[in-house]
Structure 1
C-alpha cells in the first residue's frame, strides 16, 4: 500500500508538470503573482500626501502650524484655498487627499483659552491615507496650541513644569502595535499571498478526481491503488502537499527576506500553518471533485467558494462587525482560522500554542473533507468495479 501511495504521488507530480493548467497555476503563477504583490506596495508607507491649507486667521500661529504640518511624514502642503467650494473641487479632482482650515481669530482664541474649532477634511474613500493625515494633523494642532499657552504662562514667571501640568493635565501616549508605521507592504502582502495560495490550491484540487473520470484514466489509477479510495486520495494529496512546500520555500525563503518581511523565529510556525492550509484546501477541492463529476460545475463551485475568502476573513474588516450570516459563511472557509492563527504567530510572534483553537478548526476541516472524499470515491470505485466485472 505504501508503494502504491508513492507511485500515485509520483504520477500526480507528472500530471502537474505535464498539464499546462496545473503547472501554470501551481508552479508558474505563484512566484510571478507573489513578487507582483510585493512590488505593488514597495513604497511601503503613504507619505507626502497632498494637503491644502485654508488659512483665514493669517497670523504667526497659523503660519507656524502650517510649517509644523509640513514637517510630518504624511502631510505635504500643495495647495492654498480660500473657500470650502474650492477645497471640495480640488478633492473631487483628486489633487488633494485632505485639507485643514484655520478659522478667523484662531490665535486670539488660543491665547485667551477659548474653544477653537479647526476642521480637518479628509477623503474617506482613501481610508488609510485619510487616517494618517488626521492623526498627524491632530498631533500638530494639539502640540502647537499647547505651545502657545505654555509660552504665555512662562512669560508670567510660572515654572515650566507647573505650566505644562495646567495645559496638559493628562499625558496621553499611544503605542501602535504590530504595524506601528502603517506599512502597506508589511501588512497587506502576506495576506494577499496566502489568500491567492488558497484559491490556486482549491481551483486545481477540484480537478483532481473528476478529470480522471473525464479522460478515462481512472481505471488505471484504480488498479494501481488496488481499488482503495484512501490510497488514491493519499497519493494525490502527498503530491500537492509537496507543491505547497515548494511555494512555502518561495514565500518564506525568498520573497519575505527579499522584501524584509520576515519575522525571525516564525518560520517553523508558519510552515505548520501553511501545511494545514494546504491540506484543508486540498480536502475541500477533493470533496468537490469527487461529488461533482461535471468539471465545469466543479470549477464554478470552487470559484464561488474561494472568491469572497479575503473579504469575509476579517483581514480588512472585523468579522464581529459583519452580519451573522456573513460570519457564518466566513466560518465555513479554512482561510478564516488560518488568518487568525497567522496574525498570532507572524505579526504578534507568539508561540504556536496560542494558535491551537485555530489549528483545531483547520484539523476539523481536514478530517471532515477527506472523510467525505474517501467515502464518496470508494462508493464510485465499487460501482465501477462491479460494472467492469459484469
Structure 2
C-alpha cells in the first residue's frame, strides 16, 4: 500500500473517531480556557478575615488597622470568640480568623513577644498561607514601630532609630516568576501534561477502535511499523499546532514568560510528541478497550504531575518512584520547557532531556508496532478459522 494512501486512510480513521476528535480539539481548547481561570489573579488578595480582639487596646486596634492595610487581608468583621469563626469559615463568609490575646499591649511594653493566633482552612494552601503572610507582615511593621518608639525614649534621634530598628533590609527581586503568582509557576508545566494526556488518549482510542474491528481493513494488511509511523506522524502534525497554541498564544494571553525561540522549543517538543504518540498507541493495542484506556489516562494524570519534579522535588521522591517516572514523557518535557521558555536556558542545557525523549519515542513506537503485528496475526487466524468453518 502506498504511503500517501495509508496516510489518507489514517486521517479518515482519526476524523471518523468522535472520541479521538473531541479529545484533541475539544479537550485541548477547553482545558486551555478553563484551567488558567482560577489563577487569573495570580495570587490571592484582600481575603476576608475576622478578628477576635481580647485586648481591646489602642495598640491592638492599630494592629487590626495595619492588617487591614496589607494587600493580603481585608478585615470584614470583629467577633467575640474564636468558636464563632468555624461556621463562618465553613460557609465561605471569611477565609480566616486572627486572635489578638489579652495583655497584648502590656507584653509589647514589657519587651515580651505576644502570641497572635491565626486560624483558617489549611486545605486551601494558598488562602491559608496568604492570610498568615498578611498577619506576619503587619506584625513586623508593628514590632518595628514599637522598637523605634523605645529607641526614641532612650534619646535616639527618630531618623536614626527608624534605620536601626532592624539589622538589615530585605530587597526581594523575583527572577523567573515576576508576579510571584501560582499561574506563572504551574500553568506552563500543566499545559505540557495536558498535551501529553490528550495526545496519548487520542492515539490509544484509534488503536482500540481498530483492535475491536472484526471486518477486514487496510491496517490489517499493511506493514505494522509503517502504520504506526504514519499514524504517529499524523498526530504529531496535529499536535504541533496545539503545542504552538499552548506555548504561544495561551502563555501570552495569561501574561506568562516566553524566553525561548521556536527552534529551541521544537528540539524537545518534537521528540516529546512522537514519544507520547508511541506510548498512546502502545497502550491502545495493549488494553484494546476504550473505557479501560480512558480510565488509565485519567487516573495517571495527577501522579504524573507530582512526579514530574516541579510540583514536588524529584530529590524528595523514593528512588524507585523517581526511576519509574522517567518512563513518562512528561517527566522530561516539563523541566525542559520550563528551563527553556520560563528561565531562558540555552538549548544545550536540556539536551539530555531531548535524548531521553528520543529513546522513548523509538522504544514506544517499536513496542506499538510489535503489538499491532500481534493484532494483525490474530485477525488472520480468525479469518482462517471462519473460512474453515464455512
Shorter-chain TM-score bucket reads 0.7 to 0.9
> CA–CA distance in 2 between the matches of 1:93 and 1:288?
44
Deviation, structure 1 residue 157: 2.8
Question: Taking structure 1 as reference, are residues 82 and 384 closer, same or farther at Cα in structure 2, changes over 3 Å only?
Answer: closer
Gaps of 5+ in 2: none
> CA–CA distance in 1 between the matches of 2:379 and 2:296?
25
8 Å CA contact retained: 1:72, 1:136: yes
- Normalised to the residue count of structure 1, the TM-score between the two structures is 0.85
SS at match of 2:44: coil
Question: Taking structure 1 as reference, are residues 104 and 73 closer, same or farther at Cα in structure 2, changes over 3 Å only?
Answer: same
- Normalised to the residue count of structure 2, the TM-score between the two structures is 0.85
Alignment counterpart, residue 280 of structure 1, candidates 275, 282, 285: 275
Question: Taking structure 1 as reference, are residues 85 and 194 closer, same or farther at Cα in structure 2, changes over 3 Å only?
Answer: same
> CA–CA distance in 2 between the matches of 1:88 and 1:301?
39
SS at match of 1:207: helix
377-386 or 190-199, which deviates more: 377-386
What is residue 358 of structure 1 aligned with on the other side? 353
Deviation, structure 1 residue 368: 1.5
What is residue 150 of structure 1 aligned with on the other side? 148
> CA–CA distance in 1 between the matches of 2:343 and 2:280?
31
Question: Taking structure 1 as reference, are residues 168 and 306 closer, same or farther at Cα in structure 2, changes over 3 Å only?
Answer: closer
8 Å CA contact retained: 2:148, 2:161: yes
What is residue 110 of structure 1 aligned with on the other side? 108
Q: What do the CA deviations read for 1:59-114 (whole angstroms, capped 9, x no partner)? A: 33222222221122110001212222223443344322222222233233323322
SS at match of 1:206: helix
What is residue 238 of structure 1 aligned with on the other side? 233
SS at match of 2:133: helix
8 Å CA contact retained: 1:8, 1:235: yes
> CA–CA distance in 1 between the matches of 2:255 and 2:335?
22
> CA–CA distance in 2 between the matches of 1:80 and 1:324?
50
> CA–CA distance in 2 between the matches of 1:320 and 1:160?
49
Deviation, structure 1 residue 55: 1.7
What is residue 134 of structure 1 aligned with on the other side? 132
CA RMSD of aligned residues (A): 3.1
SS at match of 2:206: coil
Deviation, structure 1 residue 138: 0.9
SS at match of 1:116: coil
8 Å CA contact retained: 2:13, 2:206: no
51-60 or 128-137, which deviates more: 51-60
Alignment counterpart, residue 343 of structure 1, candidates 323, 338, 343: 338
Deviation, structure 1 residue 348: 2.0
> CA–CA distance in 2 between the matches of 1:141 and 1:306?
41
Alignment counterpart, residue 309 of structure 1, candidates 300, 304, 308: 304
8 Å CA contact retained: 1:91, 1:98: yes
> CA–CA distance in 1 between the matches of 2:296 and 2:230?
24
8 Å CA contact retained: 2:82, 2:99: no
Alignment counterpart, residue 333 of structure 1, candidates 328, 332, 335: 328
SS at match of 2:212: helix
What is residue 254 of structure 1 aligned with on the other side? 249
Deviation, structure 1 residue 238: 0.7
> CA–CA distance in 2 between the matches of 1:66 and 1:304?
46
